[in-house]
Amino acid sequence: MTDTATDGANNAINTFSMTVKAQYIKDLSFENPKAPLSLRADIRPDIEIGVDVRAERMAEQVYEVQLLLNVSGVHEGEKVFILELNYAGLFQFESVRPDQLEYVLMVECARLLFPFARQIVGQITTDGGYPPLHIQPIDFLGVFQKNELQRAQNGGVDVGAIETEGNA
């Protein structure tokens, strides 16, 4: 895969190469503590979703990016299911400028991993006895930009994960 990025300072286009070496479930947990009572047709749990992206250098120009999803179904203040997924990918790059690397890892790699993680979440919730959960797409670029702004305002301190809420 080849991608381009624009440097806002001089509008120069930098072309880089990215190869997905592997994608895999690193960790998966599903708890259904209120079953079978929570599986009644009249129970539609509220869904709480937390998303985090992490990256770690594994070798020269090779990085593991982890997309961590924490999904809870809550009904009348009690958790009826808890799903934790750590879905990861191994990415190799060529010609990525150092000032672009964090953006590429946190936005572009997360964007590539998300549809696969979303499918796993939908399948697991279905297998747990609930309607399939279809997580809405996440604006990783918007979150990255917001986190960069907050980090700059906080003197370089990382601001954390993406938090969303909705219904199944």
Which residue ranges of the chain lie beneath pLDDT 70?
Answer: 1-14, 156-168
Which structural domain range is residue 37 located in? Answer: 18-167
The answer to whether position 73 is within a domain reads: yes
CATH number at residue 31: 3.10.420.10
So what's the pLDDT on residue 1? Answer: 52
Residues 6+ apart with CB under 8 A from 102: 55
So what's the pLDDT on residue 8? Answer: 46
Helix, strand and coil content of the chain, in percent to the nearest 5, comes to 30, 45, 25
So what's the pLDDT on residue 10? Answer: 45
The two three-digit tokens of residue 100, written as one number:
């672009």
The answer to whether position 101 is within a domain reads: yes
The answer to whether position 51 is within a domain reads: yes
Number of domains in the chain: 1
So what's the pLDDT on residue 134? Answer: 87
Neighbour tally for 105: CB within 10 Å? 22
The answer to whether position 13 is within a domain reads: no
The answer to whether position 146 is within a domain reads: yes
